[in-house]
Amino acid sequence: MTSPVKRSLLLLYCLFLIAPIYWLVVMSLKTNEEILGGLTLIPDAPTLDNYITIFTDRAWYMGYVNSLCYVLLNTAISLAVALPAAYAFSRYRFTGDKHLFFWLLTNRMAPPAVFLLPFFQLYSKVGLLDTYWAVALAHTLFNVPLAVWILEGFMSGVPREIDETAYIDGYSFPHFFVRIFLPLIRSGVGVAAFFCFMFSWVELLLARTLTTVHAKPISATMTRTVSAAGMDWGVLSAAGVLTIIPGALAIWFIRRRKAVRRARIEELEPFNPLHPEEPVPMVEGLPVISTQELELARLRRAGREPEP
């Protein structure tokens, strides 16, 4: 296949992916009369009234606030639970570890409708219905297995000698885990946080059933736009455009952080401050040396000499 043909196919594929987003943006700039009147690729009279409606109507903008609240809460809980669990699966071997790991993944494979009725009855009894905690805790059932699976792969790629060296140097486990280990797998933490954020942001069934008024997310608000006058297509399209923005910002932020980190690593020449003639082992682009050498290197790069 020649190069022009490949470019043409790639262009057609990109247009195929961009077309729904373009059409959504165009519809958000039209009135309902123009949307229902006929097919136009460009709005005849572009208007921002649909966006003004969303930012001025409490029922609409609070949907975004509620979604962000329980999504961020769910992401924090999922990572807090998944990090120690993934470390245990990557570093220790115990009876039934593989079966337990597979059982975690089966929870992710199950559809949300399976757990809908138990969650609804449980939260009704304990008074969590229509709260941020209700949706956030329900989503952890699906996000924690995914985060454990992602983080376990990143942690398994870090040599065990780093753990042993840290313990020999006198580091406690919390100090070692936060200061030494987490920076080595921060790209994995970012990937896990991104997937947790996106699942919780777009999930509809649990979010709609477990909330009614005070914690109703934007996904549930968008499904209730039908009135006696019909469907408000313009406002619904504007809400869809605004719903895409958080995911796009998350992708941009992660890509920018990785690009900046890669540039900084390329600028710094890895060295072993105690043994300059020996090569420095690398893990995910980061130099791996003993914790004492890391502290010494950090001081020297900051222009300070270690205390005798």
Residue 226, phi then psi, degrees to nearest 5: -80, 130
Does residue 25 belong to any structural domain of this protein?
Answer: no
| Average pLDDT score over residue span 226-237 | 73
Residues 70 and 208 in one domain: yes
Q: Assess whether 182 and 106 both reside in one domain.
A: yes
Which one has a higher pLDDT value, 232 or 208?
208
Q: At what angle do helices 132-156 and 58-91 cross, to 10 degrees?
A: 30
pLDDT at 270: 47
- Same domain, yes or no, for 219 and 288? no
The total domain count for the chain is: 2
Together in a domain, 218 and 299: no
Q: 273 pLDDT exceeds 50?
A: no
Q: Examine the pLDDT at 299 and tell me if it is beyond 80.
A: no
Q: Of the residues 167, 193, 224, which one is the last residue of a structural domain?
A: 224
Evaluate whether residue 139 is within a structural domain.
yes
- Which of 143-147, 150-154, 211-215, 251-255 is predicted with the least confidence, judged by mean pLDDT? 251-255
Quick one: average pLDDT of 196-221? 86
Nearest to 73 by CA among 178, 177, 215, 185: 215
71 band by pLDDT with thresholds 50, 70 and 90 = very high
Which helix H or strand E contains 18, and what residues bound it? Answer: helix 3-28
pLDDT at 274: 42
**Which tokens in the block code for residue 257?**
């952080």
Note the pLDDT tens digit of each residue in 75-131.
999 999 999 989 888 888 877 777 887 888 777 788 888 888 888 888 888 888 888
The structure tokens listed for 179 are 């200061």
Amino acid letter, residue 220 = A
The CATH number assigned to the domain holding 113 equals: 1.10.3720.10
263 in any annotated domain: no
Q: Of the given ranges (107-116, 176-185, 251-260), which has the lowest mean pLDDT?
A: 251-260
Q: Is 234 among the domain residues?
A: no
* Domain span holding position 297: 268-308
Classify residue 287: in a domain, yes or no: yes
**Shared domain check, 274 and 215:** no
Question: pLDDT digit string (tens) for 276-295?
Answer: 445 555 544 555 555 555 56
Asked if residue 12 belongs to a domain, the reply is no
